[in-house]
């Protein structure tokens, strides 16, 4: 299986900050990398697919980049509603699709 490792595991930031979360794959996955946001007791929400494509309806302050093994999710200016847990997921090799362990973004 392809292992996905996110860093950091948790992060404290303030409204208005620029935040970057990193995801590393255990082998090359080209650009088959997706990002999800999950709020407590809610289902995950797709933010970014294919490394850098913004899902319809997602604010443009979210962006993704990377290819191969290293990827980043950037939030350009944190809003109060962005405090959540973020997961990366590879869809290059199936089965199985695999997720990172999550990054919890908290208010400083």
Partner 1 sequence: QVQLQESGPGLVKPSETLSLTCTVSGYSISSGYYWGWIRQPPGKGLEWIGSIYHSGSTYYNPSLKSRVTMSVDTSKNQFSLKLTSVTAADTAVYYCAREKGLIGDLRGVFDIWGQGTVVTVSS
Binding site for partner 1 (CB under 8 A): 1, 31-32, 34, 36, 42-46, 49-50, 53, 55, 87, 89, 91, 94-102
Within 10 Å of residue 83's Cβ, how many Cβ atoms?
17
Among residues 79 and 91, whose Cβ is nearest to partner 1? 91
What is the closest distance, in whole angstroms, from the C-beta atom of residue 48 to partner 1 in the complex?
10
What is the closest distance, in whole angstroms, from the C-beta atom of residue 4 to partner 1 in the complex?
10
What is the closest distance, in whole angstroms, from the C-beta atom of residue 14 to partner 1 in the complex?
26
Determine the Cα–Cα distance for residues 106 and 31; give it in Å rounded to an integer: 28
CB 64 within 8 A of CB 33: yes
DSSP 8-state secondary structure symbol assigned to residue 59: -
Among residues 42 and 108, whose Cβ is nearest to partner 1? 42
DSSP 8-state secondary structure symbol assigned to residue 80: G
């Amino acid at each position: 299986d392809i292992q996905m490792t996110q860093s950091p595991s948790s992060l404290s930031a303030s409204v208005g900050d620029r935040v970057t979360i990193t995801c590393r794959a255990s082998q090359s996955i080209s650009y088959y990398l997706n990002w999800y946001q999950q709020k407590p007791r809610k289902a995950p929400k797709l933010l970014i697919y294919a490394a850098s494509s913004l899902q319809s309806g997602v604010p443009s302050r979210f962006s993704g980049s990377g290819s191969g093994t290293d990827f980043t999710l950037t939030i350009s200016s944190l809003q109060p509603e962005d405090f959540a847990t973020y997961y990366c997921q590879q869809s290059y090799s199936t089965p199985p699709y695999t997720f990172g362990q999550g990054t919890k973004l908290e208010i400083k």
